[in-house]
C-alpha cells in the first residue's frame, strides 16, 4: 500500500510554460512535505518543502501548494527550463519521525 502516490510517471512541458507535478498521500499523520529533484546518475537533491501549517511555499520559480483536506500537494515550476528536466520525488514525513516515505517519482521533460 503506497502511502505516497505520484500518479503521473512522466510529464512533458514546453520551455517557458508552467510545469505542475502532483502528489497524493494517505497518512494524515504526515505534517511535512518535501520535493526532491534527481538527475541521472546522481542522488536526489532537496528542492523545496512545506509544513502542514501552511498551504503555500514559494522559492523563486518553484512553488509548492498543500491541500490538507484532499491530502494533495503540487509543485509548480514557472517558467520551466530545460535544466529542470529530471525526476521529481515528493517524500513526506512527520515532525520527529525518522522515516521519510517516497513516491515513485515523476519524470519531467522540458522541451526547448
Partner 1 sequence: IAGITQAPTSQILAAGRRMTLRCTQDMRHNAMYWYRQDLGLGLRLIHYSNTAGTTGKGEVPDGYSVSRANTDDFPLTLASAVPSQTSVYFCASSDFSGALTQYFGPGTRLTVL
Which residue's CB is nearer to partner 1, number 4 or number 108?
Answer: 4
For partner 1 (CB under 8 A), the number of binding residues is 25
Which residue's CB is nearer to partner 1, number 15 or number 101?
Answer: 101
Say if CB 44 and CB 89 are below 8 A apart: yes
Among 43, 60, 69, 112, binds partner 1 (CB under 8 A): 43
What is the SS3 assignment for 41-62?
Answer: CCCCEEEEEEECCCCEEEECCE
45 touches partner 1 (CB under 8 A) = yes
- Separation CA 59–CA 12 (nearest Å): 22
Say if CB 52 and CB 97 are below 8 A apart: no
103 touches partner 1 (CB under 8 A) = yes
Q: Tell me which residues in 3-32 interact with partner 1 (CB under 8 A).
A: 4, 6, 9, 32
Pairing of the two strands 106-111 and 4-5? unpaired
1 touches partner 1 (CB under 8 A) = no
Amino acid at each position: 500500500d503506497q502511502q505516497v502516490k505520484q500518479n503521473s510517471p512522466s510529464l512533458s512541458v514546453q520551455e517557458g510554460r508552467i510545469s505542475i507535478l502532483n502528489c497524493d498521500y494517505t497518512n494524515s499523520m504526515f505534517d511535512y512535505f518535501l520535493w526532491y529533484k534527481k538527475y541521472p546518475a546522481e542522488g536526489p537533491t532537496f528542492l523545496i518543502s512545506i509544513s502542514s501549517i501552511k498551504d503555500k511555499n514559494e522559492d523563486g520559480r518553484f512553488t509548492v501548494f498543500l491541500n490538507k483536506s484532499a491530502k494533495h500537494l503540487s509543485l509548480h515550476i514557472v517558467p520551466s527550463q530545460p535544466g529542470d528536466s529530471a525526476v521529481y520525488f515528493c517524500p513526506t514525513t512527520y515532525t520527529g519521525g525518522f522515516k521519510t516515505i517516497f513516491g515513485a517519482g515523476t519524470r519531467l521533460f522540458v522541451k526547448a
